Chain A
Amino acid sequence: MEVFIQQLINGLSLGSIYALIALGYTMVYGIIRLINFAHGDVYMVGAYVGFFATTQGWGFLPSLIISMVVCAILGVVIERLAYKPLRSAPKIAVLITAIGVSFFLENGGVLAVGAKIRTFPNVFQEVQYHFFNGTVVITNRQIVIMVVTVLLMLLLQYIVHYTKTGKAMRAVSHDTQAAMLMGINVDNTISATFAIGSSLAAAAGVLVGIYYNAINPYMGIMPGLKAFVAAVVGGIGVIPGAFVGGLSLGVIEALVSGYGQSLYRDAVAFALLIIILIVKPSGLFGSNVREKV
């Protein structure tokens, strides 16, 4: 039982990170139907910006905000340069471009900052809280991760449901042509989506740096794929779905590791994906859309 609760806590903090990245995937997919493979690398860039900010002596919150702003700009630049010219091209060409951008960020990162693993500065002195006679441990870092994730999630819900940009995003996602006819600036809306998604990934990057204390230029690959799995599990295009998908993926992975099968962790994540896709292709929260002839 203690193992279960402990892994639940670990899983929820890991899952929060997946959820933050998954939100970016789901928003971008929802609006332009593109699996943005470069998203995981934006998360990596976010971690590095956070790293450089904290080593300059900045506090946690300023570093987080700087990282989010830098990555928001990066997201928009990527969209404008690489994806926008291909909006009417075959889908696979856009996907390959996304993979190309992903390679570029990874290897550009290696070129710029070196391939070695960097140790993230200790922003928070680790404090452990013990429960159940010390068998279950929760650290202040885990609490920060979960709190920041929930706050960003609420902020996102506010933006999507109560602001003009959010309304435009929902409209474009629903029907791009109609949205255009209604006078919505589709290009700007897509850029805004990339900016918001990328800044969330950046936040996840900074949080992961604080949590694991180590970052490297290739750190975005696996979490990026896992986050996409989370987005699909939750129903791609559905924002609460990405959140739930991310958390459940994190919890499942932590449980698999906790019960001694850590080598199968990645396989379990992908097996879950395949089962979900076969049983309910639209994801847990997605509605089934039938293809019209």
Chain B
Amino acid sequence: MKKLVSVPNLLVAAVLLLFYGLIRFGLEEGFVDDYYKLNLFLICINIILATSLNIINGMTGQFSIGHAGFMAMGAYGSAIMTMKLGYPFPVGILVGALAAALAGILVGMPTLRLKGDYLAIATLGFGEIIRVIILNIEYVGGAAGLNGISQYTTWDWLFFLTVATVLIIKNFMTSTHGRACIAIRENEIAAETMGIDITRYKVIAFTMGAFFAGIAGSLHAHYFYTIQPTTFGFMKSFDILVFVVLGGLGSLTGSVISAIGLTILSAFLQEYAELRMVIYSLLLVVVMLVRPQGLMGTAEFSFAGMRRLYERLTGKGRGAGNDTAVG
């Protein structure tokens, strides 16, 4: 059992708080203009999405590619609460997340019999079904979507929810339950033989993943004023999947790094709209060809690991530069 208050933990907390304060100051003083703000917010939302999908795909090894459906549940659930029913934002977030979690249970339960590619295609189908159903509900605006959602998502909400998500998922990962999930990923049959309740943990993984995706959806809806069913199509699911796989399945650090990196890359390529997706897709293929296990594999960032790396590269002094990656 590691101590809660230790030098590395305090260091990480200090760096995070410093970062939070700097951005907050920048936003108030106008150093951080709207363009940077937009991308900063996108990065945070993408981090939540990537790490939440990592619970299902990376930790538990259940291949799910319908994550945008859960995000849609969160976005619509929270928007209905704040916009249509007039509840405050925190209630909206909670209801959105719970609605998504419920969808997670519903998806998790029947698809438990499925494995690998079959599960993938079934979750893809579920994501699409959620989208088509939303598309057909007049109450939430059908294809036109919901417009005029209040912009409640502030830097405070975004930052602390992102940090909380990453922290909770990291702690879950290193807990008994998280270990059980990892055991299922490594070998389902062996895990079952060792007495792990596979069904239970798969449902837990789906529910948790969906819950956090719901939070990301709420934040998304209350930042962009407007949501449409097309926003949550399977292209979005693929985007999230790419974060996870590129970062390394099972590596939380990897998910965070690739969510940051890819969001920045796509912001940078925005200027070359035509070429953007071509370059993005080529990059994806090349990275997979060169490093199929993802950038980080299953490795996590740690101070001990950094020290080892430093000692191995003695004198080279190649800094870490990803302190923000661990909450």
The interface residues of chain A, by DSSP majority, are classed as helix
Partner of B125 from A93, A101, A270 at Cβ < 8 Å: A270
Given contacts A90-B293, A278-B113, contact A229 B278 (CB under 8 A): no
List of B residues within 8 angstroms of A271 by Cβ: 125, 129
Check B132–A229 contact: CB distance below 8 A.
Answer: no
Check B282–A277 contact: CB distance below 8 A.
Answer: no
Check if B85 is an interface residue, CB within 8 A of chain A: no
Check B278–A270 contact: CB distance below 8 A.
Answer: no
The interface residues of chain B, by DSSP majority, are classed as helix
Check if A228 is an interface residue, CB within 8 A of chain B: yes
Contact with B along A92-114 (1 / 0, CB 8 A): 11111101111110111011000
List of B residues within 8 angstroms of A103 by Cβ: 277, 280-281, 284
Minimum CB–CB distance from A227 to chain B (whole Å) comes to: 12
Check if A130 is an interface residue, CB within 8 A of chain B: no
List of A residues within 8 angstroms of B238 by Cβ: 99
Contact with B along A36-56 (1 / 0, CB 8 A): 000000000000000000000
Minimum CB–CB distance from A110 to chain B (whole Å) comes to: 7
Q: Which of A248-273 contact B (CB under 8 A)?
A: 263-264, 266-267, 270-271, 273
Check if B63 is an interface residue, CB within 8 A of chain A: yes
Check A270–B126 contact: CB distance below 8 A.
Answer: yes
Check if A183 is an interface residue, CB within 8 A of chain B: no
Q: Which of B195-239 contact A (CB under 8 A)?
A: 234, 238
Chain A contact residue count (CB 8 A cutoff): 43
Bound Cα distance from A35 to B242, whole angstroms: 16
List of A residues within 8 angstroms of B277 by Cβ: 103, 106-107, 110
Contact with A along B93-126 (1 / 0, CB 8 A): 0000000000000000011011011101110111
Check if A225 is an interface residue, CB within 8 A of chain B: yes
Check A100–B288 contact: CB distance below 8 A.
Answer: yes
Check A270–B128 contact: CB distance below 8 A.
Answer: yes
Q: Which residue of A lies closest to B125 (CB)?
A: A270
Check A104–B278 contact: CB distance below 8 A.
Answer: yes
Check A267–B133 contact: CB distance below 8 A.
Answer: yes
Bound Cα distance from A264 to B137, whole angstroms: 11
Given contacts A107-B278, A274-B126, contact A33 B117 (CB under 8 A): yes
Contact with A along B123-148 (1 / 0, CB 8 A): 01110110011011000000000000
Check if A210 is an interface residue, CB within 8 A of chain B: no
Check B136–A85 contact: CB distance below 8 A.
Answer: no
Check B278–A111 contact: CB distance below 8 A.
Answer: yes
Q: Which of B272-292 contact A (CB under 8 A)?
A: 274-278, 280-282, 284-285, 288-289, 292
Check if B80 is an interface residue, CB within 8 A of chain A: no
List of A residues within 8 angstroms of B128 by Cβ: 225, 266-267, 270
Q: Which residue of A lies closest to B277 (CB)?
A: A107
Check if B260 is an interface residue, CB within 8 A of chain A: no
Q: Which residue of B lies closest to A291 (CB)?
A: B189
Q: Which of B120, B124, B284, B289 has the most chain A CB within a 10 Å cutoff?
A: B289
Check if B182 is an interface residue, CB within 8 A of chain A: no
Given contacts A92-B249, A93-B245, A99-B242, contact A263 B284 (CB under 8 A): no
Partner of B136 from A91, A232, A263 at Cβ < 8 Å: A263
Check B293–A96 contact: CB distance below 8 A.
Answer: no
Bound Cα distance from A281 to B118, whole angstroms: 8
Minimum CB–CB distance from B103 to chain A (whole Å) comes to: 14
Minimum CB–CB distance from A188 to chain B (whole Å) comes to: 21
Q: Which of A222-254 contact B (CB under 8 A)?
A: 225, 228-229, 232
List of B residues within 8 angstroms of A85 by Cβ: 289
**Top 8 A-B residue pairs of the complex, sorted by shortest distance between their CB atoms:** A270-B125, A93-B292, A103-B281, A89-B292, A100-B284, A107-B277, A267-B132, A100-B285
9 CB contacts below 8 A, A to B, read: A89-B288, A90-B249, A97-B285, A263-B136, A267-B128, A270-B128, A277-B122, A281-B113, A281-B118
New contact pairs (4) apart from A103-B280, A270-B132, CB-CB < 8 Å: A93-B245, A96-B245, A266-B132, A267-B133
